[in-house]
Amino acid sequence: MNWLLTSFAAHGTLWALGAFYMFSNAIAALPSPGSGSSTFYRWSFDFLHLIAGNIAKIVATRYPGAVITSAADATAK
């Protein structure tokens, strides 16, 4: 257990990035709210994706016809 605390103290940024990566992937695995979903699920889905930085998924859920492109997509064309 001591090695874990020592590792966290020495490489705190790496551990934080790893934790955020796991959190973001767990949030991305949530199913999109459907027409029968509760208001609380819609709110929690949007809030968690906002925290995780998945803004594109929120917009795609609310506006299915919207297309979000990144700067990388624009330069690739």
pLDDT tens digits, one per residue of 27-36: 888 898 888 9
Give this prediction's pTM.
0.58
18, two tokens: 């790893």
Write the CB contacts of 73 (distance below 8 Å, at least 6 apart in sequence): none
Q: Is the model more confident about 41 or about 14? A: 41
Q: For the chain, give the percent of residues with pLDDT over 70.
A: 78
Q: Is the model more confident about 6 or about 71? A: 6
Mean per-residue pLDDT of the chain: 79
Q: Is the model more confident about 54 or about 49? A: 49
